Amino acid sequence: MKKEEYSAYCHDKEEGLDVLFFRHIGNNQEYSVVFGVVKDMLILSHGQSAVERGFSDNKEIMQDNMSEHTVVNFRRAYDGLKAEKKPIQECICKALLDSCKHVSQRYRVHLDETKKEDKKQKEVKERKETSRQIEEAKKKVKNLRKMGDRLVAEADDLAKEAKKKNNLSLLVNIN
């Protein structure tokens, strides 16, 4: 065992006493009986004062029609503030309470605005894609017209040449 580690143990650390004991005697078969006793000792209640204090704190923060989820989150915030070891009233001011009211509503509004912005961006993207496709189609039409004009000019030249030479076989090439 490490006597120094036990004597240096501080209950303010994040590591609990149970973790400390488990690390030293929990995994060791020799101490399985001792560890069972330690577990039982750690499970024993230290009185009802903490439970009663919790009920008093709940009564202080409870309001009508609060859901269980809300109470749990209130308690988390309340316990976090108590852990700061400052008076709760010093931490919770009117401005803080006002800023926390209607948070879910503001969040929904934010989500709606985000959806609208995403929709606008999608529409702009679709418009750009459509205009790109239109430009491509215009280029194709222009190229086809040029090709058609060139073929008509070649056909006219061949027709004139066939007329000049009185050679009807050139008319076959026109088609």
- CB under 8 A, 24+ apart: contacts of 161-170: none
Q: Per-residue confidence at 175, pLDDT binned at 50, 70, 90?
A: low
Q: Looking at residue 105, what is its pLDDT?
A: 84
- Using the predicted structure, report yes or no on whether residue 7 has a pLDDT greater than 90: no
Q: Tell me what the mean pLDDT of segment 44-49 comes to.
A: 63
Q: Looking at residue 139, what is its pLDDT?
A: 95
- Using the predicted structure, report yes or no on whether residue 164 has a pLDDT greater than 70: yes
Q: Looking at residue 52, what is its pLDDT?
A: 63
Burial 98-114 (b: 16+ CB within 10 A, else e): eeeeeeeeeeeeeeeee
Residue 129's identity, in one-letter code, is E
**Both tokens assigned to 4:** 């120094």
- Using the predicted structure, report yes or no on whether residue 126 has a pLDDT greater than 90: yes
For residue 81, is it within any domain? Answer: yes
For residue 88, is it within any domain? Answer: yes
3-class state of residue 7 by DSSP:
helix
What's the rounded Cα separation, in Å, for the pair 105 and 175? 74
Domain residues for 169? 104-174
- Using the predicted structure, report yes or no on whether residue 150 has a pLDDT greater than 60: yes
Quote the number of domains for the chain. Answer: 3
> Measured in whole angstroms, how far is the alpha carbon of residue 66 from the centre of its chain?
27
The mean pLDDT value of the chain amounts to 78
Share of the chain above pLDDT 70, in %: 70
Residues 35 and 86 in one domain: no
Q: Per-residue confidence at 140, pLDDT binned at 50, 70, 90?
A: very high
Whose CA is closest to 21, among 44, 38, 43?
38
For residue 83, is it within any domain? Answer: yes
For residue 95, is it within any domain? Answer: yes
Residues 159 and 111 in one domain: yes
For residue 58, is it within any domain? Answer: no
Residues 167 and 117 in one domain: yes
Residues 95 and 156 in one domain: no
3-class state of residue 12 by DSSP:
coil
Q: Per-residue confidence at 25, pLDDT binned at 50, 70, 90?
A: confident
For residue 56, is it within any domain? Answer: no
> Measured in whole angstroms, how far is the alpha carbon of residue 146 from the centre of its chain?
54
